């Protein structure tokens, strides 16, 4: 299947999420191959994310496949772990670009120092990947916004790849830092990285460490109360018997599992068959009404039998289903899309959605508001509870709530010029600080304006403008 996706994992968070993603994909595909009874391990379905290197065209086993990915980091820790672990056969040395000194949680180090140094190698690695593709659909950037490498180097690479390959869609899965993050400079890093995302990304899926942590805790609490339901919000195959202490000590593993689940549901429409297939281009066309407002909030729920209505409602309105820290219910949904995995009927879904349409606030000009995707294959061996799931992707004005918080934290630090010398040493000056803050403020302001405008009705000027289309009556 020729829609190929190239993953670019930048920084510690990006690489960890990426590794969890590849593991999950391998399990999914092996389960799928079992079900569909295919003889070989590398099947056509996998060609959008894996490929066989030239010399190995006869051998269709998992060991000979390579992932379509480029791994970038400024420290060797995570990348070395990957190379030693079970995924080592998926990556060739040309796909890995690593340096050794780290970026010190400093956006400017990542952007101004490592950017120019490493970017040639990364562009070379992506070029090799693109040569193995028939028709590339897009680039997926996995990174966090609070650190140094993921945010700084990630932004530089985004810019570079846009210059090099302007026609290929760039999608990012960006993880915002939580407010109680132990990294002092995270508001600076997040603001600078967001301003670059506004400029260079086609579509950004926003996650938030705070919301992910809350979701893991909430799911655990439900699991304690109802252990028979096998609810594990974490990495899909982790058994419930792991102790609670371990989850508290290493929550990132389970948080990454949530992000991976979203990523897998998003791409499942392209990878597996179903009634309504949705590819990346369609996602970005339907969810992005205005060029700057391309920040999408993911929300995920499992759908037990006969609970379709409740699940859809909670996907839209419950702030606990969202993997981004916000209060969506009183905000305006500029565009929404739902991706269903499992056995659903289009008619059922349409009925529930028409009742939701009356409750949510949508702009009057976007009545055709829901984009749907249906895939049959769920993804992993699991209990009845996990058989069906829905992923909601919403372009909701609530995204600006977090941006505003970020700007407030930024201002609090910047007023005292705290830590500014670190950025100035790496090559930035106060103009950069202020320009980038301004661009984030501007987008936040535009979202708020959209909310207000959308709640109103068609204005007089628009009514008059409509009349000029009418033919002159004789």
Binding site for another protein (CB under 8 A): 1-3, 134-135, 137, 273, 275-277, 279, 281-282, 284-291, 335, 345-348, 350, 353-354, 357, 363-372, 458, 462, 465-466, 469-471
Query: 35 or 355: whose CB is closer to another protein?
Result: 355
Shortest distance (Å) from residue 171 CB to another protein: 13
Orientation angle between helical segments 399-415 and 430-455, nearest 10 degrees: 150
Q: How far is CA 175 from CA 93, 145, 259, 331, 386, in A?
A: 27, 6, 9, 22, 25
Alpha carbons 148 and 126: distance in angstroms, whole number = 22
Query: 99 or 286: whose CB is closer to another protein?
Result: 286
Shortest distance (Å) from residue 357 CB to another protein: 7
Query: 65 or 450: whose CB is closer to another protein?
Result: 450
Q: Which pair of structure tokens corresponds to residue 27?
A: 């399990």
Shortest distance (Å) from residue 283 CB to another protein: 8
Shortest distance (Å) from residue 352 CB to another protein: 11
Eight-class DSSP state of 397: T
Query: 97 or 278: whose CB is closer to another protein?
Result: 278
Q: How far is CA 379 from CA 45, 233, 257, 382, in A?
A: 13, 14, 14, 9
Query: 299 or 336: whose CB is closer to another protein?
Result: 336
Could you tell me where the DSSP H helices lie in 276-417?
A: 280-287, 308-317, 346-359, 399-415
Whose tokens are 């090559």? That residue is 427
Q: Which residues of 292-314 are buried (b: 16+ CB within 10 A; e: fewer)?
A: ebbbbbbbbbbbeeeebeebbbb
Shortest distance (Å) from residue 143 CB to another protein: 25
Query: 260 or 287: whose CB is closer to another protein?
Result: 287
Alpha carbons 242 and 377: distance in angstroms, whole number = 27
**470 φ, ψ (degrees, to nearest 5):** -75, 140
Orientation angle between helical segments 209-225 and 251-271, nearest 10 degrees: 100
Query: 85 or 281: whose CB is closer to another protein?
Result: 281
Shortest distance (Å) from residue 319 CB to another protein: 24
Shortest distance (Å) from residue 234 CB to another protein: 33
């Amino acid at each position: 299947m020729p829609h190929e996706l190239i993953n670019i994992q930048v920084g510690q968070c990006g690489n960890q999420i990426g590794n969890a993603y590849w593991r999950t994909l391998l399990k999914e595909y092996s389960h799928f191959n079992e079900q569909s009874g295919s003889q070989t391990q590398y099947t056509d379905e996998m060609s959008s994310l894996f490929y066989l290197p030239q010399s190995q065209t006869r051998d269709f086993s998992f060991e000979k496949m390579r992932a379509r990915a480029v791994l970038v980091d400024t420290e060797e820790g995570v990348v070395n772990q990957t190379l030693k672990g079970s995924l080592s056969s998926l990556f060739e040395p040309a796909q890995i670009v690593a340096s050794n000194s780290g970026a010190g949680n400093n956006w400017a180090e990542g952007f101004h120092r490592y950017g120019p140094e490493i970017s040639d190698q990364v562009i070379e690695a992506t070029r090799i990947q693109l040569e193995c593709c028939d028709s590339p659909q897009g680039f997926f950037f996995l990174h966090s916004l609070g650190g140094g490498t993921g945010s700084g180097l990630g932004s530089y690479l985004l810019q570079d790849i846009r210059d090099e390959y302007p026609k290929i869609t760039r999608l990012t899965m960006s993880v915002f830092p939580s407010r109680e993050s132990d990294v002092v400079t995270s508001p600076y890093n997040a603001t600078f990285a967001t301003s670059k995302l506004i400029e260079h990304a086609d579509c950004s899926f926003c996650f938030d460490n705070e919301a992910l942590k809350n979701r893991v805790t909430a799911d655990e609490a439900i699991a304690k109360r109802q252990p028979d339901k096998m609810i594990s919000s974490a990495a899909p195959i982790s058994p419930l018997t792991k102790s609670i202490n371990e989850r508290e000590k290493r929550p990132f593993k389970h948080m990454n599992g949530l992000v991976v689940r979203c990523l897998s549901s998003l791409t499942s429409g392209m990878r597996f068959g179903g009634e309504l297939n949705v590819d990346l281009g369609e996602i970005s066309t339907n969810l992005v009404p205005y060029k700057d407002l391309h920040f999408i909030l993911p929300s995920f729920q499992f759908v037990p039998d006969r609970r379709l209505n409740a699940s859809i409602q909670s996907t839209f309105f419950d702030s606990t289903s969202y993997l981004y820290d916000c209060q969506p219910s009183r905000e305006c949904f500029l565009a929404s899309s739902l991706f269903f995995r499992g056995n659903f009927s289009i008619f059922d879904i349409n009925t529930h959605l028409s009742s939701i349409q009356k409750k949510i606030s949508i702009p009057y000009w976007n009545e055709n508001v829901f984009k749907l995707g249906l895939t049959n294959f769920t993804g992993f061996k699991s209990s009845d509870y996990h058989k069906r799931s829905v992923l909601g992707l919403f372009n909701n004005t609530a995204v600006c709530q977090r941006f505003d918080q970020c700007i407030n934290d930024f201002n609090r630090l910047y007023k005292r010029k705290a830590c500014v010398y670190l950025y100035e040493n790496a090559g930035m000056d106060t103009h950069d600080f202020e320009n980038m803050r301004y661009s984030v403020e501007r987008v936040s302001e535009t979202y708020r304006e959209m909310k207000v405008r959308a709640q109103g009705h068609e204005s007089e000027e628009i009514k008059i403008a409509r009349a000029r289309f009418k033919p002159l009556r004789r």
